[in-house]
Amino acid sequence: MAVMNMIEAINSGLETMMQRDDNVVIMGEDVGYFGGVFRATAGLQEKFGKTRCFDTPISECGIIGAAVGMCAYGLRPVPEIQFADYIYPGMDQLISEAARLRYRSAGEFTAPLTVRSPFGGGIFGGQTHSQSPEAMFTHVSGLKTVIPSTPYDAKGLLIASIEDNDPVLFFEPKRIYNGPFTGYYDNPVSPWSKFAEAEVPEGHYTVPLGKANIVREGDAVTVLAYGTMVHVCKAVVEEHQINAEVIDLRTLVPVDIETIEESVKKTGRCLIVHEATRTSGFGAELSALVQERCFYHLEAPIERVTGFDTPYPHSLEWAYFPGPVRIREALEKIVRDLKS
């Protein structure tokens, strides 16, 4: 075991897979010599050579398109898109090609690629360094979407994603690269080294895709979250001593419906939290699933706490971010009569 922050865990996951599988190739803007703008690929080019980890032109459709072609050859590329906000030029290649390759060729060609991309806000990134576009991908049949919330999960889920034979969108919440963020923006963030989840095995291990993690057990309300919001939710329920069950979904597609269903049937209440904008966000899908499957167990309407339906603002970051106040209000609405 070693102590790692999330960036180090991701770097270790990449290194582990490059060591194990000669077909794993890393490509993207600034990922080679420089090691990535967030240092996620630091040292990999030096260790594995330029043909295994290399810089690309600034062209997201080129990066993902070339990666799809590499898959057709038999490689297992792990392209990086520098910020999720810049993934859109590559959408055609992801949606029309990577996601459909296996289906349209009846399994003759597949796209076992993992697109890594830092996402989410809370860092004064403004409109184009803060977005959470996961719902654009969860809506696409043939793509898997994975979002870790701890260093341990980040490495295990990344390895599982790279080994998966389907295309995976691996969104890294950059707000929690260095330590879990509770949403209290005035407080300094404690580094990952102070938390058990920073204990990361140095070798190979996986955290299975499609399996949620119950990060806090409770029976008053089920809180569904992923990425940075897992930590914000945890902090709020702990502060207000709400007996909430907090579930880190980890994989959005395919989502762990069993864990969700079991929890909501137990608690009878459900709060869904994500940073992404509300309308047609992934929360809507979660809400519909819970309503369809747990209707007779529900004791209150399902609530959603999300980003507002606006572009991500710069100066009003903390008014936009779905932080502790918004979550507490929603929880009180659902669990009012249960609050001690």
Q: Which residues bind other proteins (CB under 8 A)?
A: 25, 51-52, 56-57, 59, 61-62, 65-70, 72-75, 77, 89, 92-93, 96-97, 100-110, 141-142, 144, 164-166, 210, 253-254, 257
Q: Shortest Cβ distance from residue 217 to other proteins (Å)?
A: 24
Q: Shortest Cβ distance from residue 284 to other proteins (Å)?
A: 15
Catalytic residue from among 8, 15, 129, 231: 129
Would you say 168 or 200 has its CB closer to other proteins? 168
Q: Shortest Cβ distance from residue 244 to other proteins (Å)?
A: 25
Cα 210 from Cα 232, distance rounded (Å)? 22
Virtual CA dihedral for 239, 244, 247, 252, nearest 10 degrees?
-100
What residues form DSSP beta bridges with 274?
Answer: none
Place of tokens 């047609």: 280
Would you say 255 or 327 has its CB closer to other proteins? 255
Catalytic residue from among 15, 29, 60, 97: 60
Cα 332 from Cα 317, distance rounded (Å)? 24
Is 60 a catalytic site residue?
yes
Give 10-79 as a DSSP string.
HHHHHHHHHHH-TTEEEEETT-SSS--TTSTTTTHHHHH-TTTEEE--S-HHHHHHHHHHHHHHT-EEEE
Q: Shortest Cβ distance from residue 251 to other proteins (Å)?
A: 10
Is 204 a catalytic site residue?
no
Relative orientation angle of helices 228-239 and 324-335, to the nearest 10 degrees: 60
Would you say 1 or 295 has its CB closer to other proteins? 295
Relative orientation angle of helices 151-163 and 6-20, to the nearest 10 degrees: 30
Would you say 6 or 212 has its CB closer to other proteins? 212
Catalytic residue numbers read 60, 129
